[in-house]
Chains A and B, each alone.
Chain A
Amino acid sequence: MIVEFGHFSVVAALLVALALGVVGHVSAVNSVWRSLVATLASCQLLLLAIGFAVLVRAFLVSDFSVAYVAENSNSLLPWYYRVSATWGAHEGSFLLWILIMGVWTWAVSLGCRRLPDEIFGRVLGTMGLLNFGFLLFLLSTSSPFERLLPAAPPEGADLNPLLQDFGLIVHPPLLYTGYVGFAVAFSFAVAALIGGRLDAAWARWSRPWTNVAWAFLTVGIALGSWWAYYELGWGGWWFWDPVENASFMPWLAGTALIHSLAVTEKRGAFKSWTALLAIAAFSLSLLGAFIVRSGVLTSVHAFAVDPERGLFVLALLAIAVGGALAIYGVRAPTIMSRARYGGFSRELLLLVNNAILVVALAFVLHGTLYPLAHEAMTGGEKTSVGAPYFNRGFVPLMCVLACFLALAPVARWKRTPLSLLKNSGLMCVAALCMGLVLPLVLGGAFKVGAAVAVALGIWIMLVHGADVWRRRNSTTRGYLGMTIAHIGFAVALMGIGVTSEFSREVDVRMAVGDSVELNGVTYRFAALRRIEGPNYVADRAEFVTDSGVHLYPEKRHYPVRDQVMTEAGIAAGFVRDLYIALGSALPDGAWGVRIQDKPMVRWVWLGALLMAFGGVLAVTDPRYRRLRATDGLREARGSPWATSGAGPEPSAGEREGAPLARRKREPKAPAVGHSPTT
């Protein structure tokens, strides 16, 4: 009965989402309806939360009369895997997607409540319509609430063993929060286009949301990469798999978008382009959903294939994206904004940033969809695209991007005095020397890739570090956020360059007492013990390196589930990871052992975390709260905010905004809040 209640609750959410869609857009014209919009958003979230909680409960109590639970769970699964099994397959993970959409909608209804009726209604209305589409898809093709009645099986078919891991618990929710978060930027762009007001205020309103969504996506992708690294047991961290690409493409578009939004906000330029990127970022999220859920491309991540579902997602994609682009075609301004900027300016750098990121995006998109296009054109001939293709194009593009990124902090809006560039030139020479020498000294061999990556990384860090020092008395959180994110990029770049060039591995047969030397480290197979864990017995090997590091790779056997798992022994380190995985036990008592030496592999994920942290830090800049209040006043007076072209440094907005805001904030200064934009 309780499952039917959850089902009913989600059906009710479908109706509420439709109502939100309609009322939102109506309230943009007739503000009488405005008060209803936020109520509907809260209502939608409540109903979705009930539906989701009911499904989680069905997993917790192992209610195998529910088909989805019977297919993906088992009463012997530990409780935390039963909870995460809720999003272990298509139906439940899409309900999670919808729930997260509900959370974002609710957050926008709270965080944007001071925005003018027009934009508030249209943003939430658009989000409501999107969620209506998602709910329609869920309920008509993939309801997780279907019953297996009257014959409920006594036991469930179990969760795929590969998914019984901490990674499944956190990776999908974070990733979906990023994907779905781009719906906010998308809805802001659509709302601004409908209203015909692609201006600086629109850019500033959507910027915090975009940053937060992008940060979640960054962490989600990094986590997926880390999960693959330790779980698959072969030490790889990126495979250019179609579904990895599906998460990476919105990230590239989102990265371009957060930079382009900066130009639109501060200089009133690139407006149409920014709107297009906002549409693209979310469209690529939807494309990712299509790729994963339709089975159109084969991948390790793909869910069970069902043609009806694929067609439905494709239709959803066509309506949402086609609709948004049609609105763009009809409503985007035909008059180009005439922001002027000189030969070397921040605008120009950000333009280059966008160009490179979009070319990289097109490159990945092409590689991912090429097998499809090739097949459609040749009438069925098959092909596949591998990692060499992606690396060949993507790596040089990122190096060029890094060169321009190193100049970011010194560039000024409109025109950069050449004197500012002199120091970064000197630092470039210094970095180049270090890039040539450091990998040679530390790695013992000269590798072009590592040298380039290290030189670029050091250059970026030097220039940013020097600029922070120069501005040490006048930094803002926005500026610090940018700096940290850029340094994160440098860290990831160095990690990727070094780990790709200097990683070493051997597969050997070893018995207790044997030693193997790899990359200057001697590994001795010191002991093998049979140990008992809480719910498993394991063969636990002990390896000792000549420098005294102990590694304990295990081969675990879970007697209850009669299942064997390999636990890699990883000595994680800032400088290098030592990584040992036990293969199979050989008849003579020896073991197949894979030993890997992976220098600086942690830097890849550390860099991603820094990037995400920078993105979030920038959102906490008080100026977003301050300017919100100012915008409200300006909207009321009906004067356009955007000043394209002329404007004193640093930006007209910051100087004008401050006094007004202080006046407005005085009565009750809000605590630095949980919601980024209130």
Chain B
Amino acid sequence: MNRARLFIPMAVFAVLACFLFLGFTLRDPHELPSALIDRPFPDFDLPILGKPGARATRADLVGQRRLVNVWATWCPTCLAEHGELSRIANETGLSVIGINYKDDPSEASRWLARHGDPYDYNIVDVSGDFGVEIGVYGAPETFLVDAEGTIRYKRVGDVNEDIWREELQPAIAALEALR
């Protein structure tokens, strides 16, 4: 066997390593392609936080462009993004709906009382079953849902100023342009 051929494994590995390097430096792992992008937001029928007996369904969601934010009190990053979400809700008037994910409702209400409540209302998903439906990887996650109830954008991880400016705002602008 030719000596040069024995270096083939190394060459293969070098190509692989290059891809890993490129992928690693180029990629923002928080921005995840969701199988749900451009698909309708799934049906649900879940209780509303802090309103015993009241339930929200998908029909309550459509009709208006909204951010849907998955959060929990056990998630430190959710607290970190809370300020920016509040700012978005207050300054832009964009409707923000919360999904309180795998959490205790009474603790969640206390958390909102303490840190401020930017949400129009919160859907309670104690079991995390609905989280599975919408492909939640972990909290926080944020969906941009248009007026027809179609998911247009998904963010895994916190929403901060940069994300708002560079991703969410352009995504909303693109929706405006479509109309």
Q: Which residues of A come within 8 Å of B, CB atoms?
A: 157-158, 160-161, 233-234, 272, 276, 279, 283, 287, 290, 294-300, 302, 305, 307, 310-311, 314, 317-318, 321-322, 325-326, 328-330, 332, 334-336, 369, 371-373, 375-376, 379-380, 382-384, 386, 557, 562-564, 566, 581-584, 586-587, 592, 594
Contacts and interface: CB of A to CB of B under 8 A. Distances in A.
B21 to A, nearest CB: 6
Contact of A160 (B17, B26, B74): B74
A335 B29 contact: no
Contacts of A157: 76
Interface of B: 1-3, 6-7, 9-10, 13-14, 16-17, 19-24, 26-27, 29-33, 35, 46-47, 52-53, 55, 74, 76, 102-104, 106-107, 124-129, 132, 137-138, 156
Given A300-B138, A564-B104, A584-B47, A594 B33 contact: no
B156 A376 contact: no
Q: Which one of B26, B55, B124 has the highest number of Cβ atoms from chain A below 10 Å of its Cβ?
A: B26
A376 B27 CA distance: 8
Given A564-B104, A587-B52, A382 B20 contact: no
Q: Which 4 pairs, one residue from A and one from B, show the smallest C-beta to C-beta distance?
A: A372-B23, A325-B10, A329-B7, A376-B22
A611 B30 CA distance: 38
Q: Which one of A233, A294, A557, A584 has the highest number of Cβ atoms from chain B below 10 Å of its Cβ?
A: A584
Contacts of A321: 13, 17
A317 B27 contact: no
Given A372-B22, A564-B126, A566-B127, 12 more contacts: A157-B76, A161-B74, A290-B20, A296-B24, A311-B24, A325-B7, A328-B9, A334-B6, A369-B23, A386-B35, A584-B124, A584-B126
Contact of B21 (A314, A332, A380, A386): A314
Q: Which one of A298, A317, A322, A562 has the highest number of Cβ atoms from chain B below 10 Å of its Cβ?
A: A298
A372 B10 contact: no
B158 to A, nearest CB: 12
A587 B30 CA distance: 37
B13 A594 contact: no
A157 B79 CA distance: 12
Nearest to A305: B29
A317 B102 CA distance: 37
Given A325-B13, A329-B7, A334-B1, A233 B127 contact: yes
Given A328-B6, A566-B127, A158 B23 contact: no
Given A314-B20, A562-B107, A564-B126, A384 B27 contact: no
Q: Which one of B22, B55, B125 has the highest number of Cβ atoms from chain A below 10 Å of its Cβ?
A: B22
Contacts of A160: 74
Contacts of B55: 587
Contact of A583 (B33, B52, B129): B129
A505 to B, nearest CB: 12
A375 B26 contact: yes
B72 to A, nearest CB: 9
A11 B63 CA distance: 61
B45 to A, nearest CB: 9
Given A157-B76, A334-B1, A334-B6, A376 B26 contact: yes
Nearest to B136: A300
A325 B14 CA distance: 10
Contacts of B19: 369, 372-373, 376
Contacts of A373: 19, 23
Contacts of B128: 233, 566
A328 B127 contact: no
Contacts of B33: 371, 382-384
Given A318-B17, A321-B13, A375-B26, A384 B32 contact: yes
Contacts of B103: 564
B126 A158 contact: no
A582 B132 CA distance: 15
Nearest to B10: A325
B101 to A, nearest CB: 11
A334 B13 contact: no
A375 B129 contact: no
A166 B74 CA distance: 20
A186 to B, nearest CB: 14
A480 to B, nearest CB: 35
20 contacts: A161-B102, A233-B128, A298-B30, A305-B29, A322-B17, A326-B7, A328-B10, A329-B3, A329-B6, A329-B7, A329-B9, A334-B1, A334-B2, A336-B1, A372-B23, A375-B27, A562-B106, A581-B127, A583-B127, A583-B129
A519 to B, nearest CB: 21
A213 B117 CA distance: 52
Contact of A298 (B7, B24, B53, B137): B137
B70 to A, nearest CB: 14
Contact of A234 (B32, B47, B132, B156): B132
B37 to A, nearest CB: 10
A300 B27 contact: no
A326 B10 CA distance: 6
B23 A314 contact: no
B6 A296 contact: no
Contacts of A583: 127, 129
Contact of B74 (A371, A563, A582): A563
